[in-house]
Protein backbone atom coordinates (compact mmCIF):
# COMPACT_ATOMS: atom_id res chain seq x y z
CA UNK A 1 0.00 0.00 0.00
CA UNK A 2 1.47 3.41 -0.97
CA UNK A 3 2.17 5.90 1.79
CA UNK A 4 -0.41 8.69 2.19
CA UNK A 5 0.34 12.09 0.71
CA UNK A 6 2.27 14.36 3.07
CA UNK A 7 1.40 18.07 2.97
CA UNK A 8 3.35 20.76 4.83
CA UNK A 9 1.83 24.21 5.38
CA UNK A 10 4.69 26.70 5.81
CA UNK A 11 3.61 29.68 7.93
CA UNK A 12 6.76 31.44 9.13
CA UNK A 13 5.60 35.06 9.08
CA UNK A 14 3.49 36.66 11.83
CA UNK A 15 1.36 34.96 14.46
CA UNK A 16 -1.77 36.56 13.05
CA UNK A 17 -0.83 35.31 9.59
CA UNK A 18 -0.86 31.75 10.95
CA UNK A 19 -4.38 32.27 12.27
CA UNK A 20 -5.40 33.51 8.81
CA UNK A 21 -4.08 30.23 7.36
CA UNK A 22 -6.49 28.06 9.38
CA UNK A 23 -9.30 28.13 6.78
CA UNK A 24 -6.82 26.77 4.22
CA UNK A 25 -5.79 24.00 6.62
CA UNK A 26 -9.45 23.03 7.09
CA UNK A 27 -10.02 22.91 3.34
CA UNK A 28 -6.88 20.82 2.83
CA UNK A 29 -8.23 18.24 5.28
CA UNK A 30 -11.58 18.10 3.49
CA UNK A 31 -9.88 17.70 0.12
CA UNK A 32 -7.34 15.16 1.37
CA UNK A 33 -8.93 13.21 4.23
CA UNK A 34 -6.29 10.46 4.11
CA UNK A 35 -3.27 12.75 3.82
CA UNK A 36 -0.84 13.59 6.60
CA UNK A 37 -1.08 17.37 7.00
CA UNK A 38 1.52 19.22 9.06
CA UNK A 39 2.54 22.84 9.65
CA UNK A 40 5.89 24.58 10.07
CA UNK A 41 5.92 27.78 12.17
CA UNK A 42 8.62 30.04 13.60
CA UNK A 43 6.89 31.80 16.50
CA UNK A 44 5.74 30.22 19.76
CA UNK A 45 2.48 32.15 19.41
CA UNK A 46 1.88 30.52 16.03
CA UNK A 47 2.42 27.10 17.61
CA UNK A 48 -0.13 28.04 20.29
CA UNK A 49 -2.64 29.11 17.63
CA UNK A 50 -2.45 25.71 15.92
CA UNK A 51 -2.40 23.61 19.09
CA UNK A 52 -5.37 21.26 19.20
CA UNK A 53 -6.32 21.89 15.56
CA UNK A 54 -8.03 18.62 14.50
CA UNK A 55 -7.14 19.17 10.84
CA UNK A 56 -3.41 18.90 11.52
CA UNK A 57 -1.36 15.80 12.31
CA UNK A 58 1.68 17.72 13.63
CA UNK A 59 3.02 21.24 14.17
CA UNK A 60 6.77 21.85 13.80
CA UNK A 61 8.13 24.90 15.65
CA UNK A 62 11.63 26.24 15.08
CA UNK A 63 12.81 29.82 15.69
CA UNK A 64 15.08 30.26 12.69
CA UNK A 65 15.92 33.90 13.34
CA UNK A 66 17.19 33.00 16.81
CA UNK A 67 18.93 29.74 15.90
CA UNK A 68 20.83 31.09 12.91
CA UNK A 69 21.53 29.74 9.39
CA UNK A 70 23.53 26.60 10.26
CA UNK A 71 21.16 25.19 12.87
CA UNK A 72 18.20 26.14 10.70
CA UNK A 73 19.74 24.29 7.73
CA UNK A 74 20.26 21.17 9.86
CA UNK A 75 16.67 21.37 11.11
CA UNK A 76 15.30 21.73 7.58
CA UNK A 77 17.43 18.78 6.48
CA UNK A 78 15.71 16.66 9.13
CA UNK A 79 12.30 17.78 7.85
CA UNK A 80 13.35 17.00 4.28
CA UNK A 81 13.64 13.36 5.32
CA UNK A 82 9.88 13.37 5.90
CA UNK A 83 9.48 13.34 2.09
CA UNK A 84 6.62 15.79 1.76
CA UNK A 85 4.72 15.60 -1.49
CA UNK A 86 3.37 19.18 -1.25
CA UNK A 87 4.47 22.34 0.51
CA UNK A 88 2.40 25.52 0.56
CA UNK A 89 3.83 28.90 1.55
CA UNK A 90 0.93 30.82 3.05
CA UNK A 91 0.31 34.52 2.42
CA UNK A 92 2.04 36.91 2.96
CA UNK A 93 5.53 35.39 2.99
CA UNK A 94 7.17 37.69 0.50
CA UNK A 95 10.84 37.33 1.41
CA UNK A 96 12.79 35.01 -0.88
CA UNK A 97 14.12 33.13 2.15
CA UNK A 98 10.67 31.64 2.72
CA UNK A 99 10.63 30.23 -0.79
CA UNK A 100 14.20 29.00 -0.39
CA UNK A 101 13.01 27.00 2.61
CA UNK A 102 10.38 25.34 0.43
CA UNK A 103 13.08 24.40 -2.07
CA UNK A 104 15.33 22.97 0.67
CA UNK A 105 12.48 20.77 1.88
CA UNK A 106 12.36 19.28 -1.61
CA UNK A 107 8.67 18.53 -2.14
CA UNK A 108 7.79 17.80 -5.79
CA UNK A 109 4.94 20.36 -5.55
CA UNK A 110 5.93 23.73 -4.04
CA UNK A 111 3.13 26.30 -4.12
CA UNK A 112 3.47 29.99 -3.28
CA UNK A 113 2.25 33.43 -4.30
CA UNK A 114 3.96 35.59 -6.90
CA UNK A 115 5.18 38.74 -5.15
CA UNK A 116 6.54 42.02 -6.45
CA UNK A 117 10.11 41.00 -5.64
CA UNK A 118 9.91 37.85 -7.79
CA UNK A 119 13.02 37.09 -9.85
CA UNK A 120 14.25 34.40 -12.22
CA UNK A 121 15.36 32.42 -9.16
CA UNK A 122 11.76 31.85 -8.10
CA UNK A 123 11.21 29.48 -11.01
CA UNK A 124 13.65 27.15 -9.24
CA UNK A 125 12.49 27.80 -5.67
CA UNK A 126 8.78 27.12 -6.26
CA UNK A 127 6.99 25.52 -9.18
CA UNK A 128 3.35 26.58 -8.75
CA UNK A 129 2.46 30.23 -8.25
CA UNK A 130 -0.60 32.37 -7.69
CA UNK A 131 -0.56 36.11 -8.33
CA UNK A 132 -0.90 38.08 -5.11
CA UNK A 133 -3.32 41.00 -4.83
CA UNK A 134 -3.74 43.86 -2.38
CA UNK A 135 -7.47 43.77 -3.10
CA UNK A 136 -8.09 40.28 -1.66
CA UNK A 137 -7.95 39.23 1.97
CA UNK A 138 -5.11 36.97 3.07
CA UNK A 139 -7.61 34.20 3.89
CA UNK A 140 -8.94 34.25 0.33
CA UNK A 141 -5.45 34.39 -1.14
CA UNK A 142 -4.52 31.33 0.90
CA UNK A 143 -7.64 29.51 -0.26
CA UNK A 144 -6.60 30.34 -3.82
CA UNK A 145 -3.63 27.99 -3.39
CA UNK A 146 -6.06 25.07 -3.49
CA UNK A 147 -6.51 25.60 -7.21
CA UNK A 148 -2.79 25.04 -7.75
CA UNK A 149 -3.26 21.53 -6.34
CA UNK A 150 -6.39 20.78 -8.36
CA UNK A 151 -8.51 21.04 -5.19
CA UNK A 152 -11.76 22.93 -4.73
CA UNK A 153 -13.57 24.73 -1.93
CA UNK A 154 -15.70 22.33 0.09
CA UNK A 155 -17.10 24.81 2.61
CA UNK A 156 -19.66 27.47 1.72
CA UNK A 157 -18.26 29.97 4.24
CA UNK A 158 -14.95 30.31 6.02
CA UNK A 159 -13.75 31.65 9.35
CA UNK A 160 -10.47 31.67 11.21
CA UNK A 161 -10.36 28.76 13.63
CA UNK A 162 -9.16 28.39 17.21
CA UNK A 163 -9.74 25.24 19.23
CA UNK A 164 -9.73 26.07 22.93
CA UNK A 165 -9.30 23.28 25.45
CA UNK A 166 -11.58 22.93 28.50
CA UNK A 167 -8.57 23.88 30.64
CA UNK A 168 -8.08 27.15 28.74
CA UNK A 169 -11.75 28.06 29.04
CA UNK A 170 -11.70 27.18 32.75
CA UNK A 171 -8.64 29.37 33.26
CA UNK A 172 -10.47 32.37 31.78
CA UNK A 173 -13.52 31.78 33.99
CA UNK A 174 -11.35 31.49 37.10
CA UNK A 175 -9.43 34.65 36.22
CA UNK A 176 -12.65 36.65 35.82
CA UNK A 177 -13.82 35.40 39.22
CA UNK A 178 -10.51 36.15 40.97
CA UNK A 179 -10.30 39.62 39.42
CA UNK A 180 -13.89 40.49 40.32
CA UNK A 181 -14.91 41.11 36.74
CA UNK A 182 -18.51 39.90 37.09
CA UNK A 183 -20.85 42.61 35.84
CA UNK A 184 -18.01 44.73 34.45
CA UNK A 185 -17.90 45.99 30.88
CA UNK A 186 -14.54 44.68 29.73
CA UNK A 187 -12.49 46.61 27.17
CA UNK A 188 -9.38 44.87 25.89
CA UNK A 189 -6.30 46.71 24.64
CA UNK A 190 -3.18 45.50 22.87
CA UNK A 191 -0.51 48.19 22.91
CA UNK A 192 2.15 46.11 21.12
CA UNK A 193 2.89 44.82 17.64
CA UNK A 194 5.38 42.65 15.81
CA UNK A 195 9.03 43.70 16.15
CA UNK A 196 10.54 42.22 12.98
CA UNK A 197 11.97 44.71 10.47
CA UNK A 198 10.85 48.15 11.74
CA UNK A 199 7.23 47.23 12.43
CA UNK A 200 7.37 48.42 16.04
CA UNK A 201 7.34 52.00 14.68
CA UNK A 202 3.67 51.66 13.79
CA UNK A 203 2.63 51.44 17.46
CA UNK A 204 0.29 54.06 18.89
CA UNK A 205 2.13 56.07 21.58
CA UNK A 206 1.75 54.86 25.17
CA UNK A 207 0.84 58.39 26.24
CA UNK A 208 -2.11 58.21 23.85
CA UNK A 209 -3.26 54.92 25.35
CA UNK A 210 -3.07 56.50 28.80
CA UNK A 211 -5.20 59.43 27.66
CA UNK A 212 -7.80 57.14 26.14
CA UNK A 213 -7.98 54.92 29.23
CA UNK A 214 -8.64 58.00 31.33
CA UNK A 215 -11.52 59.02 29.07
CA UNK A 216 -13.02 55.52 29.16
CA UNK A 217 -12.85 55.16 32.93
CA UNK A 218 -14.41 58.58 33.34
CA UNK A 219 -17.22 57.81 30.90
CA UNK A 220 -18.54 54.66 32.59
CA UNK A 221 -17.98 53.39 36.13
CA UNK A 222 -18.53 49.77 35.05
CA UNK A 223 -15.66 49.74 32.52
CA UNK A 224 -12.55 47.73 33.34
CA UNK A 225 -9.58 47.69 30.98
CA UNK A 226 -7.59 44.51 30.29
CA UNK A 227 -4.12 44.95 28.81
CA UNK A 228 -3.24 41.96 26.63
CA UNK A 229 0.23 40.92 25.57
CA UNK A 230 3.27 38.93 26.59
CA UNK A 231 6.75 39.58 27.97
CA UNK A 232 7.52 42.03 25.15
CA UNK A 233 4.79 44.35 26.45
CA UNK A 234 5.65 43.96 30.15
CA UNK A 235 7.46 47.31 30.49
CA UNK A 236 4.69 49.10 28.57
CA UNK A 237 2.05 47.57 30.83
CA UNK A 238 4.00 48.54 33.96
CA UNK A 239 4.23 52.14 32.72
CA UNK A 240 0.49 52.30 32.01
CA UNK A 241 -0.43 50.80 35.38
CA UNK A 242 1.69 53.39 37.15
CA UNK A 243 0.48 56.36 35.12
CA UNK A 244 -3.21 55.39 35.12
CA UNK A 245 -3.18 54.67 38.86
CA UNK A 246 -6.49 52.81 38.77
CA UNK A 247 -7.51 49.39 40.05
CA UNK A 248 -9.82 49.19 37.04
CA UNK A 249 -6.83 48.63 34.72
CA UNK A 250 -5.54 45.05 34.86
CA UNK A 251 -2.87 42.95 33.17
CA UNK A 252 -3.90 39.28 32.90
CA UNK A 253 -0.86 37.00 33.12
CA UNK A 254 -1.72 34.76 30.19
CA UNK A 255 0.76 31.99 29.46
CA UNK A 256 -0.09 31.55 25.77
CA UNK A 257 -2.19 32.89 22.92
CA UNK A 258 -5.12 30.55 23.59
CA UNK A 259 -5.47 31.67 27.20
CA UNK A 260 -5.57 35.22 25.84
CA UNK A 261 -8.20 34.14 23.32
CA UNK A 262 -10.34 32.56 26.04
CA UNK A 263 -10.26 35.79 28.02
CA UNK A 264 -10.93 37.90 24.93
CA UNK A 265 -14.15 35.93 24.47
CA UNK A 266 -15.59 37.77 27.47
CA UNK A 267 -14.68 41.29 26.30
CA UNK A 268 -17.30 43.78 25.19
CA UNK A 269 -14.82 45.74 23.04
CA UNK A 270 -11.22 45.50 21.85
CA UNK A 271 -8.78 48.11 20.55
CA UNK A 272 -5.47 47.59 18.77
CA UNK A 273 -3.53 48.37 15.67
CA UNK A 274 -3.22 45.64 12.99
CA UNK A 275 -1.51 43.11 15.25
CA UNK A 276 -1.88 39.39 15.93
CA UNK A 277 -4.22 40.19 18.82
CA UNK A 278 -6.50 41.98 16.36
CA UNK A 279 -6.99 38.70 14.51
CA UNK A 280 -7.37 36.82 17.79
CA UNK A 281 -10.18 39.18 18.87
CA UNK A 282 -11.88 38.71 15.50
CA UNK A 283 -11.65 34.93 15.81
CA UNK A 284 -13.26 35.16 19.27
CA UNK A 285 -15.99 37.40 17.85
CA UNK A 286 -15.58 40.27 20.26
CA UNK A 287 -18.78 42.30 19.71
CA UNK A 288 -17.12 45.68 19.16
CA UNK A 289 -13.70 45.79 17.55
CA UNK A 290 -11.72 48.96 16.86
CA UNK A 291 -8.53 49.21 14.80
CA UNK A 292 -6.30 52.28 14.68
CA UNK A 293 -5.11 52.75 11.10
CA UNK A 294 -1.37 52.39 10.60
CA UNK A 295 0.88 52.63 7.57
CA UNK A 296 0.78 48.82 7.26
CA UNK A 297 -3.01 48.39 7.30
CA UNK A 298 -4.62 47.24 4.06
CA UNK A 299 -7.43 45.04 2.75
CA UNK A 300 -5.38 41.85 3.01
CA UNK A 301 -5.15 41.86 6.81
CA UNK A 302 -8.37 43.44 8.08
CA UNK A 303 -10.37 41.42 10.67
CA UNK A 304 -11.76 38.56 8.59
CA UNK A 305 -15.51 38.22 8.10
CA UNK A 306 -16.19 40.39 11.17
CA UNK A 307 -17.61 43.90 11.66
CA UNK A 308 -15.07 46.40 12.92
CA UNK A 309 -14.47 50.14 13.08
CA UNK A 310 -11.33 51.48 11.43
CA UNK A 311 -10.21 54.65 13.17
CA UNK A 312 -8.78 56.58 10.27
CA UNK A 313 -5.36 58.10 10.56
CA UNK A 314 -5.46 61.60 9.02
CA UNK A 315 -1.71 61.47 8.34
CA UNK A 316 -1.95 58.26 6.27
CA UNK A 317 -4.70 59.53 3.96
CA UNK A 318 -5.06 56.32 1.97
CA UNK A 319 -1.33 56.12 1.20
CA UNK A 320 -0.83 52.81 3.04
CA UNK A 321 0.74 51.01 0.10
CA UNK A 322 3.19 53.88 -0.38
CA UNK A 323 4.50 53.12 3.10
CA UNK A 324 4.39 49.33 3.15
CA UNK A 325 4.14 46.57 0.57
CA UNK A 326 4.81 42.83 0.61
CA UNK A 327 8.24 43.12 -0.95
CA UNK A 328 10.35 41.86 1.96
CA UNK A 329 11.20 45.39 3.11
CA UNK A 330 10.17 47.35 6.20
CA UNK A 331 7.93 50.40 6.45
CA UNK A 332 9.21 53.25 4.30
CA UNK A 333 10.11 56.38 6.25
CA UNK A 334 12.41 57.48 9.03
CA UNK A 335 11.64 56.56 12.65
CA UNK A 336 10.76 60.20 13.32
CA UNK A 337 8.33 60.29 10.38
CA UNK A 338 6.61 57.04 11.33
CA UNK A 339 6.27 57.94 15.00
CA UNK A 340 4.82 61.31 14.01
CA UNK A 341 2.39 59.47 11.74
CA UNK A 342 0.86 57.62 14.70
CA UNK A 343 0.66 60.73 16.88
CA UNK A 344 -1.81 62.12 14.34
CA UNK A 345 -4.48 59.89 15.92
CA UNK A 346 -5.51 61.48 19.22
CA UNK A 347 -7.19 59.85 22.25
CA UNK A 348 -10.24 62.07 21.69
CA UNK A 349 -10.60 60.77 18.12
CA UNK A 350 -10.55 57.17 19.30
CA UNK A 351 -12.90 57.81 22.22
CA UNK A 352 -15.42 59.46 19.89
CA UNK A 353 -15.56 56.26 17.82
CA UNK A 354 -15.72 53.91 20.82
CA UNK A 355 -18.23 55.77 22.98
CA UNK A 356 -21.45 54.76 21.14
CA UNK A 357 -20.53 51.06 21.32
CA UNK A 358 -19.69 51.26 25.02
CA UNK A 359 -23.02 52.91 25.73
CA UNK A 360 -25.02 50.20 23.93
Domains present along the chain, CATH in parentheses:
6-149 (3.40.50.2000), 166-359 (3.40.50.2000)
Q: Is the pLDDT of residue 82 over 70?
A: yes
Q: Is the pLDDT of residue 216 over 70?
A: yes
- Using an 8 Å Cβ cutoff, are 11 and 139 in contact? no
pLDDT digits (tens, 9 = 90+) for 318-356: 999 999 999 989 999 999 999 999 999 999 999 999 999
Rg (CA), the chain: 21
CA proximity to 45, closest of 270, 285, 230: 230
Cis ω before 92 (30° cut-off from 0)? yes
Q: Are strands 309-311 and 288-292 parallel, antiparallel or unpaired?
A: parallel
Give the model's pLDDT for residue 345.
Answer: 98
Give the model's pLDDT for residue 313.
Answer: 98
Q: Average pLDDT of 234-244?
A: 96
- How confident is residue 360, by pLDDT bands cut at 50, 70 and 90? confident
Give the model's pLDDT for residue 122.
Answer: 93
pLDDT digits (tens, 9 = 90+) for 142-200: 999 999 999 999 999 999 999 999 999 999 999 999 999 999 999 999 999 876 778 88
Q: Average pLDDT of 285-306?
A: 97
Ramachandran quadrant class, 317 (left: phi over 0; alpha: psi -120 to 50; beta: rest):
left
Give the model's pLDDT for residue 1.
Answer: 58
How high is the mean pLDDT of the chain? 96
The vertex-355 CA angle with 206 and 233, nearest 5°, equals 25
For the entire predicted model, the pTM comes to 0.95
What distance in Å separates the CA atoms of residue 77 and residue 192, rounded to the nearest whole number?
Answer: 35
What distance in Å separates the CA atoms of residue 108 and residue 207, rounded to the nearest whole number?
Answer: 52
User: Around 313, how many Cα atoms within 13 Å sit in the side-chain half-sphere?
Assistant: 25
Give the model's pLDDT for residue 92.
Answer: 95
The lowest-confidence range among 2-11, 84-93, 133-142 is 2-11
Give the model's pLDDT for residue 196.
Answer: 74
Burial environment of residue 183 by CB neighbours within 10 A (0 to 12, 13 to 18, 19 or more):
exposed
What distance in Å separates the CA atoms of residue 300 and residue 288, rounded to the nearest whole number?
Answer: 20
Q: How far are the Cα atoms of 89, 214, 234, 300, 303 from residue 39, in angstroms, in the given order?
A: 10, 43, 30, 22, 23
Q: What percent of the chain has pLDDT over 90?
A: 93
DSSP secondary-structure letter at 5?
A: P
- CA torsion 189-299-22-97 (nearest 10°) is -100
Give the model's pLDDT for residue 359.
Answer: 87
Q: Is the pLDDT of residue 305 over 90?
A: yes
Amino acid sequence: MPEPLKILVISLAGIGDTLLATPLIHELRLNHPEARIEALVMWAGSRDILAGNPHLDAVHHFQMLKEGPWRSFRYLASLRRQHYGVTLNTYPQSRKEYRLIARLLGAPVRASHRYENRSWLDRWLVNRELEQSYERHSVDQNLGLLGLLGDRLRLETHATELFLSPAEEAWAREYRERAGLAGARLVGFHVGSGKTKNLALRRWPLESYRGLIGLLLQARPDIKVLLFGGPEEASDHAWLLEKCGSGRVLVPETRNMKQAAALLGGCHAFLSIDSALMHLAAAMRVPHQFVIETATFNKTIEPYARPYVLIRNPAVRGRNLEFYRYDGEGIRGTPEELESLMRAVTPAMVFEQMAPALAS
